[in-house]
Structures are given as C-alpha cells and as structure tokens.
C-alpha cells in the first residue's frame, strides 16, 4: 500500500469521489468524516474512518497525525452556520475563529489550513483528484438555450464572478437580466429554491469561481444535487465556469436535466 492520504470529509459527492480516485492512485485513505455533513457511504470507502463534530479540531488533528498521513485533502462542503455557534467548539476551533478575523468560508478554511500545516499536516491541491470532472466549454444537454437564456447567462456570469471574488457567494439566480437571488450562508441549493419561489419558473442559475481561486479553499462545484434543486425550483438553465468547476455525477445530472428540459452550459468567463 502507498502513502496514507487524510481526507477531511464534508457534504456532497467530492469526498466519495476523492476517496475512490485516491485509492486508484495507490493511496490508503484515512477519513475524518464530519458528522451531519459526510455521507454514511464513506464507511465503505476506506479502512480507517472516524466521525467528528465540526468543532473538534484538536481531536481531528491528533487522529490524522496518529495515522501518519503524508497529506490532507479538504473535500466537500461544510455548514458555515457552525462558525456562528460557540457551543461545542474546542480550544483549537475557538482559536481558528479568532485567527480568521471573520466567518466567511474563505477565511475559515484558510485559518484551518494554516493550523493543520502548523501541525505538520500539509493540505494538498485537490485538482489532480478532480481531473475527470472538469468540463470544456459547451452545452452539455440535448436541450439548447434560447436567446433569453444566453442573455441571462452573459449578464449573470460576470456578477457571479464578482460576488465570488468578494467572498459573498458563488451562485447568482437571474431572470430577464435581473438578479433574483444570490447565494449566502444557506448554500447553493437553497438559494436556487429561493430564486424559484421569488421569480417563478424559468430562472437561470449561474455559478462561478474566484479570479484567483486557491483550489484548496471552498472550491465551487455542481452536480446531481444541483440539478435536483433546479428541477424543484422550476429553473430553466444552469451555467457554470468551464474548466474551473468540477461537475460531479455528470451523466445522471444531464439525464435529469434533459428530462425536465433544463439547459446546462459550461461557459468561459471573459476577463
């Protein structure tokens, strides 16, 4: 068996896929799964899996160091609301909150990375484990965009990128070149539903990365759960930044979108 790779697992598909890709590359995975976030299926993806509360930073660090990992991946999404509840946070977590000088995802994860690396646990760029999931520019669905959808995408993509750079959120919901909703602390899927409630069917959802995206920190992604939210909101289209955002469970997501006549486009953002 090769080197041991630590995975701090949050919600979504990425932790499961990362564990599979790492195993294929010869790593032995040591998974620190965050309770209430990580999928129970992770129990079957590695020989060493332990569950942690979000505020147990010291115990998590000891676990990874104790198993001799050569590097760590931070994989998946984490509930930002935890940072607003001081109950259940250990001394290391409270220290991180103080170091972060704010509770935005970028600052919190950057502070976590600084802490882990200070403990001798290098945090790795996840991009090599995600290479199969990036998309070239183009329409991915059989359903093609009409002129209105293309206009909304052009309008919304620069706004989504600007919001991401300001660390506000990475998703904007648009209809008829008007911003209906932007992603906040609730996350992408709930923002999509809120946009549908506000503007009705036919909204266009646009997701972008930061201009200077550190892929270790809150890397945005889309996937099957995103498309399920689109269906629930009656949305008409999803556009995301080509070659910068991974698209998980693509085949199933595109099939679901086509069944609901939803457009999915990977789009380049102009500088």
Q: pLDDT of 49-84, one tens digit each?
A: 999 988 888 999 999 999 999 999 998 887 766 555
Mean pLDDT value across the chain: 89
Q: Is the same domain home to 22 and 119? A: yes
Question: What predicted TM-score, i.e. pTM, was given to this entire model?
Answer: 0.84
Q: What is the largest CA-CA distance in the chain?
A: 57
Same domain, 118 and 218: no
How high is the pLDDT of residue 90? 78
Same domain? For 167 and 99 the reply is no
Domain end: 73, 101, 129, which one?
Answer: 129
Q: Which domain holds residue 189?
A: 134-267
What is the pLDDT confidence band of residue 129, given thresholds at 50, 70 and 90? confident
């Amino acid at each position: 068996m090769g080197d041991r790779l630590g995975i701090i697992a949050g919600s979504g598909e990425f932790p499961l896929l990362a564990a599979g890709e790492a195993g294929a590359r010869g790593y032995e995975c040591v998974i620190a799964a965050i309770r209430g976030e990580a999928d129970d299926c992770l129990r079957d993806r590695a020989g060493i899996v332990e569950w942690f509360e979000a505020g147990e930073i010291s115990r998590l660090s000891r676990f990874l160091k104790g198993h001799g990992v050569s590097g760590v991946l931070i994989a998946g999404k984490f509930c930002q609301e935890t940072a607003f509840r001081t109950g259940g946070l250990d001394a290391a977590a409270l220290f991180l909150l103080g170091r972060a000088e704010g509770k935005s995802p970028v600052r919190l994860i950057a502070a976590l990375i600084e802490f882990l690396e200070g403990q001798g646990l290098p945090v790795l760029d996840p991009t090599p484990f995600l290479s199969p999931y990036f998309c070239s520019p183009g329409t991915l669905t059989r359903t093609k965009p009409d002129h209105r959808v293309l206009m909304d995408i052009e309008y919304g993509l620069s706004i989504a990128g600007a919001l991401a750079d300001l660390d506000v959120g990475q998703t904007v919901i648009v209809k008829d070149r008007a911003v209906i909703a932007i992603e906040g602390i609730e996350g992408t899927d709930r923002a999509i539903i809120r946009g549908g409630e506000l503007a009705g069917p036919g909204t266009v959802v646009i997701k972008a990365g930061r201009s200077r995206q550190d892929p270790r920190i809150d890397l945005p992604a889309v996937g099957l759960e995103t498309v399920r939210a689109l269906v629930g909101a009656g949305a008409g289209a999803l556009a995301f930044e080509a070659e910068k955002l991974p698209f998980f469970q693509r085949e199933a997501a595109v099939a679901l979108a086509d069944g609901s006549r939803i457009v999915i486009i990977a789009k380049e953002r102009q500088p």
